[in-house]
A and B are shown apart, each in its own frame.
Chain A
Amino acid sequence: SYVLTQPPSVSVAPGKTATLTCGGNNIESQSVHWYQQKPGQAPVMVLYDDSARPSGIPERFSGSKSGNTATLTINRVEVGDEADYFCQVWDGASDQTVFGGGTRLTAL
């Protein structure tokens, strides 16, 4: 089955840039979606189709892919960006929807 690998945690100082990675075999051929989840809340989509932002998501959030890695970049990190971030794809080969294990972003 398809597997997405995310680092468990990332720490960044407020105002700096956070880079969150999502590794998967040949992920370049997949459409990658990203979700933000704050404690006690439901997930919120922050990027879809690799790099598109839903309405209301700040331009500070951007996405890219290269090789076996998709990346969510958050510029000028704010304390309010602290959350768990999950990547997700639908793998057509296995007909499975797969989520990464999530990365906890801490702004300190």
Chain B
Amino acid sequence: QVHLVQSGGGVVQPGRSLRLSCVASGFDFSIYGMHWVRQVAGRRLEWVAVISFEGSNEYYADSVQGRFTISRDNSKNTVHLQMSSLRRDDTGVYYCAKDGTDYNYMYSFDHWGQGSQVTVSS
């Protein structure tokens, strides 16, 4: 059974940094792309970033490009999201999500972590 267990999150001041982590189990982590998706304003879902299965390719939403970095460690079945220069509009619940297609990323999310609240406030 697939499990994605997240850690990190919290309250942070604007301009500061925060790191989210997601530990995967129940599937061959090393052959699936992994994403971060956030939910803002209580309901709107927004894709944030993806990393390829081997970690060689990363793509970001325009809203976080240059501020956020996605990374993975296949030896630890873990994906991270390093968030820097945080802004108030980055506030929301952040989910890690597994891509539904192996050896590629087709931007469908077949399993999700439990979510991590990130609040950017002074």
A residues sitting closer than 8 Å to B (CB atoms) are 31, 33, 35, 42-45, 48-49, 54, 84, 86, 88, 90, 97, 99, 101-102
In the bound complex, residues from chain B placing their C-beta under 8 Å from that of A35 are 45, 109
Q: Report how far A42 CA is from B106 CA in the complex, Å.
A: 20
Give chain B's interface residue range (CB within 8 Å of chain A): 10 to 19
The answer to whether B107 touches A42 (Cβ under 8 A) is no
Beyond A48-B110, A97-B107, whether A43 also contacts B44 by CB under 8 A is no
Residues of A with C-beta under 8 A to B111: 45
Q: Compute how far the CA of A101 lies from the CA of B39 in the bound complex, rounded to whole angstroms.
A: 11
How far is it, in angstroms, between the C-alpha of A61 and the C-alpha of B112 when the chains are bound?
20
Contact with A along B67-105 (1 / 0, CB 8 A): 000000000000000000000000000010000100000
Task: Chain A residues near B115: list those with CB within 8 A.
Answer: 42
Docked-complex contact B46 and A99, CB < 8 angstroms? yes
